[in-house]
Amino acid sequence: MKEQSIRVENLVKNFGSGENLVEVINGASFSVNKGELVALIAPSGAGKTTLLMMIGCVEEPTSGTIYLGDEKVYDNKWLTKETRKIRREKIGFIFQAHYLIPFLTVLENVTLVPQTNGISKKESEKEAMELLKYFDIPDKANAKPSQLSGGQNQRVAIARALANKPEIILADEPTAALDLARSVNVVKMLKKIALDQNVAVIMVTHDEAMYPLCDRILKIENKKVISVGV
């Protein structure tokens, strides 16, 4: 039996109030298992990023329940004041733009979060070099982001997301700025990471060419989340 990494029950997100109330998500329920790469699809403005940010403990839901691993983190309110700690320890974020810090080297970018979490410089650098080898860019460790290609920078961004050994990776359109070949490579990497690291990966994408590379597709439809075929 597969182990659940994310479980969402009756999640609701509204913006505004009264006449200005906008319902974005209304009663979403779904789960994602460890080792799964799941695509999240919907038209623009349907709430994909908002849903991702709620799961990532960045955006507060209006109501509902969120479990991350065995921990219930939200039940009509945050159950901890340390949502930042949850993000640091459990979740890796990957975005369309790589958001690497331009004046830091690749190695320094990847080691930033582990060192913030109290891991020693020596240990974090050792782990970072293993990740860079995993992504076939160990020779770029001392380079700055401006010296790398777009595809290489996205690999560094993924390595950075993995540096805190997350249980969950949330990827918001990570291939949008890449051509088809590089996009396929990034999604194959995410699939490999899901299996190798036994993590749950949710990837927001508009690119139908990526769907067959995913285990499942979740779609936001009528403000709910439904499962559709690959």
CATH number, position 182: 3.40.50.300
Looking at the domain assignment, is residue 130 inside a domain? Answer: no
Looking at the domain assignment, is residue 180 inside a domain? Answer: yes
Looking at the domain assignment, is residue 137 inside a domain? Answer: no
Provide the pLDDT for residue 1.
Answer: 61
* pLDDT band for position 46 (cuts 50, 70, 90): confident
Report the distance separating Cα 45 and Cα 69, nearest Å.
Answer: 28
Provide the pLDDT for residue 230.
Answer: 54
Domain hosting residue 206, numbered range: 4-101+169-228
Report the distance separating Cα 9 and Cα 7, nearest Å.
Answer: 7
Looking at the domain assignment, is residue 46 inside a domain? Answer: yes
- Provide the CA 14 distance to its chain's centre, in angstroms: 22
- pLDDT tens-digit map of 131-179: 999 888 999 999 999 999 888 898 899 899 888 888 999 999 888 877 8
Q: What is the average pLDDT value for the chain, to the nearest integer?
A: 90
159 in Cβ contact with 182 (< 8 Å) = no
* pLDDT band for position 227 (cuts 50, 70, 90): confident
Report the distance separating Cα 183 and Cα 6, nearest Å.
Answer: 25
Looking at the domain assignment, is residue 215 inside a domain? Answer: yes
Q: 103 pLDDT exceeds 60?
A: yes
pTM tops 0.75, yes or no: yes
- pLDDT tens-digit map of 108-139: 999 998 888 888 999 999 999 999 998 889 99
Looking at the domain assignment, is residue 112 inside a domain? Answer: no
Provide the pLDDT for residue 229.
Answer: 62
Q: 189 versus 201: which is more confidently predicted?
A: 201
Provide the pLDDT for residue 38.
Answer: 95
Number of domains in the chain: 1
Q: Which two tokens stand for residue 68?
A: 């991350």
Looking at the domain assignment, is residue 127 inside a domain? Answer: no
- Provide the CA 40 distance to its chain's centre, in angstroms: 11
Looking at the domain assignment, is residue 13 inside a domain? Answer: yes
List helix spans (H) across 103-149. 106-116, 121-134
